[in-house]
Structure 1
Amino acid sequence: MNQHSQNMTHWAERVDLAAAFRWTARLNMHEAVANHFSLAINDEGTKFLMNPNQMHFSRIKASDLIVVDANDPETLKGPNAPDPTAWGLHGGIHRLVPHARCAMHVHSIFATVLASLKDSRLPPIDQNCCTFFNRYVIDEGYGGLAFESEGERCAALFTDPKKRVMIMGNHGVLIIGETVAETFNRMFYFERAAETYIRALQTGMALRVLPDEIAEKTAQELESYPEQDLRHLAELKALLDAEGSNYAT
């Protein structure tokens, strides 16, 4: 039995995740052979798909994704063992945050610049920034590489289900969601929002910050906007398909 037929039960999810890796590399939001995306495939959320250890985002195919069990430390042994920091961060998230079916962690440039500021808040200065109004948590306690204890510490910060972005101080960003489409869309727009804010700061001019009530109204309107995340990912897959990409193999 080849790998494709073995993995058919979660093939659509694998294809979505592979497309997200490819497009993240295309946007230069990747970290070469580091950083990880994961997607839960059992009801408890503890068994999940993830990129193999040290494979570049731009090469990842649906059939390359490994299955990791967050409750089985033996996962760290053997030829298909995940990166230990991926096990630490994503294992912690999938064990301890039930609503985090998908988790995407990157060190994308503008989100990481934001995470490097003493004040890492993202003020509502445009529509994209409003998307995240009162919907992120800031980790102020970076403790080194994301081995198991660091992963559990980060997971414990996701206490409010409304907050699905973690600005990881001195580190990067961690996005959670229900699906690949939802999570990728959120990651994409968070990076756009962070870029707008950082570039606005670079002008040295005063910022035009929206009132809280308008920021919240806009965030709610965007949350209820129909199928934007699904259409976004579908278009990216269509573009990859048109190029003859092998991501879905």
Structure 2
Amino acid sequence: MTTSDHSTFDSPDIRRLRSDLALALRAADYHGLSEGICNHFSVALPDGSPRFLINPRGLHWSEIGAADIVMVDAAGAKLAGRHEVEPTAMFIHAAVHGIARKACVLHTHMPYATALTLTEARALDTTLSQGAMRFHGRIAVDRRYNGLALDMAEGERIAHAMAGADVVFLANHGVIVCGERLDHAYDDLYYLERACQLQVIAASTGVPAAPVDRALAARVSQQTAGERLQSELFFKALRRMLGEP
């Protein structure tokens, strides 16, 4: 760790960002979106440098606090923090941060969204539930499953497949949800899974789906985008509920 890295890592702004990232991870476990000790949430430092905050290797999301968050460079090398980082953690995240220019990158194998990646459509139908409509025009689909992301090339392929979208469904794999703010990105992650859950439940009835007009779905998406205060209030509520370990 350089003196500069240490100073940055312990600055008030980054301590707060570390706290927010830890909260998002604990909330994801609370909401059933985690999978063992796998998957990662990462946030780019706001100074524009190629440095990121990410969850450490080996800790369950339910136990992660601000002190457990690690700072890494674009290659995944640890710059600051008391834990190690999974070597492959940044293969997807560095590419999405760098190529897709996303500040927050949340990657999960959450069950209902991942279930939809196993279907022919590969993704959520954004003309069904009201919750799904908030994602209308914001989703990309990577239809090419290429095995485990074990090198930078696979991460770069995924990042290019996003084509500027906030959300990408990865065929036979999982999802990535991105945003400029962690509270907004987490809100999207949570409501994406809820929308996917409703679609799976509806499909299980065997009754044909009843989508709305795409123009209406687009209007609802715009309406939801203008209500981001709800996202911020939700994140504050989660902090009150889950606290800081």
TM over 0.5: yes
Q: Give the counterpart of 1:126 among 122, 125, 129.
A: 129
Same amino acid, percent of matched pairs: 30
Partner of 1:50: 54
1:121, CA displacement in angstroms? 3.5
Please state whether the residue corresponding to 2:124 is helix, strand or coil: coil
The 5 A counterparts of 1:32-111 are 32-44=36-48, 46-70=50-74, 72=75, 74-75=77-78, 80-98=83-101, 100-111=102-113
In structure 1, the partner of 2:140 is 137
Distance 1:222 1:45 in 2: 31
Deviation at 1:112, TM superposition (A): 0.5
8 Å contact kept, 2:70–2:78: no
Using the TM superposition, give the Cα deviation of residue 115 of structure 1 relative to its aligned residue in structure 2, in angstroms. 0.7
8 A Cα contact 1:53 1:81, kept in partner = yes
SS of equivalent residue, structure 1 residue 68: strand
Structure 1 position 80, deviation (Å): 4.7
- 2:169 match: 167
SS at match of 1:113: helix
Number of positions where the alignment pairs a residue of Structure 1 with one of Structure 2: 237
User: Which one of the candidate residues 18, 22, 26 is aligned to 1:18?
Assistant: 22
Letter in 1 for 2:42: S
TM-score by length of 2: 0.90
Q: Structure 1 residue 43: deviation in Å? A: 3.3
SS at match of 1:128: helix
Q: Which moved more, 1:230-239 or 1:119-128?
A: 119-128
Q: What TM-score do the two structures reach when normalised by structure 1?
A: 0.88
Q: Is the 8 A contact 1:42 1:48 kept in 2?
A: no
Long gaps (5+) in structure 1? none
Q: Cα RMSD (Å) of the superposition?
A: 2.3
Q: Is the 8 A contact 1:45 1:101 kept in 2?
A: no
Change (3 A) 1:73 1:166: closer
- 1:45 positional shift: 5.6
Change (3 A) 1:45 1:114: farther
Q: Give the aligned residue type for 2:201.
A: R
Q: Which amino acid aligns with 1:127?
A: Q
Cα drift, residue 106 of structure 1: 0.5
User: For the Cα contact (< 8 Å) 1:7–1:63, is it kept in 2?
Assistant: no
- Give yes or no for contact 1:45–1:94 (8 Å, CA) kept in 2: no
Residue deviations 1:111-132 (CA, integer Å, cap 9, x gap): 0000111212322111101111
Q: Which runs of 5+ in 2 are unaligned?
A: 1-5
